[in-house]
Amino acid sequence: MNARPTLRCAIYTRVSTEHGLDQDFNSLDNQREAAEAYIKSQAHEGWRLIRDRYDDGGFSGGSMERPALQQLLADIQARRIDVVVVYKVDRLTRSLADFAKLVELFDAHGVSFVSVTQAFNTTTSMGRLTLNVLLSFAQFEREVTGERIRDKIAASKKKGIWMGGVVPLGYGVKARALHIVDEHAELIRAIFSRYQQLGSVSALKSSLDRDGIVVPERQDGAGRLTGGKPFSRGHLYKILSNPIYVGRLTHKGWVHEGQHPAILDLATFEAVQAQLAANTRSHARQRLASDHLLTGRIRDEHGKTMTPTHARKGPKRYRYYVSQAALQGRDGPAITRVPAPEIEAAVIGALRSLIPAQRQPESDVALVQQHCKSIAVEPEGLILTRSDDQRIEIAWIPASSRKRREIILPPGADNNLRPMKPEDRTRILRAIARARFWMGELTSSTIGSTDAIANRESLTERSVRMTLSLAFLSPAIVKAIIDSRLPRGIGLRTLIDLPASWAEQERALGM
């Protein structure tokens, strides 16, 4: 009679928290004892327990990143294990997706999986079905537990109860509630006071660094010592904008009155928030101006200023110079908007080809500042006026990225055979007014981007960009729309697709 082959058995145990692990007999020991007894009961089948232990104490079943589990999987791949024994299936994992990966790994290496308290194994189709059902409920239980915890946190924060996390500087935790640490609170008040005096986070950081003021050393919840380093600008900004210092808590964008004492008075905090907001707007305007090399120098063919603006498509940012005359609805130039990178490259290329190399600064910004007095955008090209008043013509034509459609009328045809419907006229005029209003907001930095407009108006960013093109319609076309003189069938889509040049726009519409 042939002897049964020996099956090498490994026991895996897990608990979610470290609570009680220091006891002489803990939950891990209980799980292992039950699994050992089960293996002994199967000794007649050739089951033998291996010496290695696979115990994960304080690790969630929702993650595969557990040291003992990873060692178990490595030993399975090394073919040192034939059977994996657990107390309950959710000790191995609470994720159905992770379990499917584990079973696939077990099958690939000929390993069986056995649960002591749920009598089945993966060697049978019924056992596999039962496992999937049990894991579905385990995952459901985990998700419901997570929802309950999130709801409890939200409800507690609405009542102003501190629910843990990183303790803000100036406070300590006692009996699970925030209390003021006087020494650190004085530092917080000093930071707010200095910011009001200096007016910027950068100046505040420089002042603190100069005086040798660093983040106070504190012990976090895990016992690690933090602090002792200079304040970063990001840390200072978080401190200055955190409403916790006036006795409030934030959760999911909402601010609730807290139960903890305030370190600052409300008037000081609100004054600092106003200064932060003003600085943000100022920095946005400065950044916009510094990105555009020709700001203050570029004019349209009528000598009117062209101001910098930009639009976004996803993560990509498109920069332009726009004629103010066109934005304000006055008779404007043939070219109302030009792409900034193209026109800047043309100007810089011309300057570097004309100026001797030894007189050229390395920086493009310095090159423009020293040698470019003005740029005029003409239909036939660019007119560059150098700092010595020498005028230079630069060949340049704005590229068109889209194919255009034109309405071609026979000679002598009547443009108004079928005039536009009143409702179409009203819809188009409203869209044009909206486009001009949005463009005015962008050029004046009242609003930062097309994304911000899209969020405010509950539209897609693409819809906003398409509507903005209506701000650059020829005044003759706008007047024709007002007078209902455009042929029927010309709608918003046709107007949005028109080229940038007013002359080309009018020709495309048969005007």
pLDDT at 417 over 50: no
Instruction: State whether the Cα torsion 274-278-284-290 is positive or negative.
Output: negative
Q: Is the pLDDT at 289 greater than 70, yes or no?
A: no
Which pLDDT score, from 0 to 100, does residue 128 have? 66
As a whole number of angstroms, the longest Cα–Cα distance in the chain is 110
Which pLDDT tens digit goes with each residue over 83-137? Answer: 999 998 888 887 767 877 887 788 889 898 888 887 666 656 666 676 667 667 6
Under a CB-based contact definition with an 8 Å cutoff, are residues 181 and 217 in contact?
no
What per-residue confidence (pLDDT) applies to 444? 74
Instruction: Give the pLDDT confidence score for residue 401 in this predicted structure.
Output: 45
Which of 261, 286, 311 lies at the terminal end of a domain, its last residue? 286
pLDDT confidence tier of residue 485, bands split at 50, 70 and 90? confident
Is residue 184 a part of any domain in this protein?
yes
With bands split at pLDDT 50, 70 and 90, how would you rate the model's confidence at 412? low
Nearest to 454 by CA among 443, 466, 445: 466
Give yes or no: residues 486 and 441 share one domain.
Answer: yes
Q: Are residues 47 and 119 in the same domain?
A: yes
Could you give the CA distance from residue 155 to residue 81 in angstroms, rounded to a whole number? 48
Say yes or no: 134 and 22 in one domain.
yes
Last residue of a domain, which of 222, 256, 286? 286
- The reported pTM is 0.37
Q: 280 and 190 in one domain? A: yes
Same-domain status, 175 and 213: yes
What is the C-alpha separation between 487 and 484, in angstroms, rounded?
8
**236 and 176 in one domain?**
yes
Between 11-25, 281-295, 415-429, the lowest mean confidence (pLDDT) is in 281-295
φ, ψ of residue 95 in degrees (nearest 5): -105, 125
305 lies in a domain?
A: yes
Asked if 34 and 133 sit in the same domain, the reply is yes
The verdict on residue 162 lying in a domain is: no
Question: What is the tens place of the pLDDT at every residue in 202-248?
Answer: 889 888 989 999 989 887 766 778 888 898 888 898 899 888 888 88
What are the pLDDT digits (tens) for 72-85?
999 999 999 999 99
In this structure, is residue 46 part of a structural domain? yes
Q: Assess whether 246 and 356 both reside in one domain.
A: no
Same domain, 66 and 89: yes
Q: What is the CATH number of the domain that holds 246?
A: 3.90.1750.20
Confidence of residue 48 (pLDDT cuts 50, 70, 90): very high
Region 31-44: mean pLDDT is: 90
Q: Where are the beta strands (DSSP E) in 45-203?
A: 47-49, 54-57, 83-86, 112-115, 120-121, 171-174, 177-180
Domain assignment of residue 401, yes or no:
no
Domain co-membership, 280 together with 177: yes
Instruction: Work out the percent of the chain whose per-residue pLDDT is above 90.
Output: 10
Collapsing DSSP to helix, strand or coil, 399 comes out as: coil
Same domain, 274 and 307: no
Range of the domain at 373: 298-394
**306 lies in some domain:** yes
Question: What's the domain count of the chain?
Answer: 4
Quick one: 264 and 346 in the same domain?
A: no
Pick from 286, 309, 334: which residue ends a domain?
286
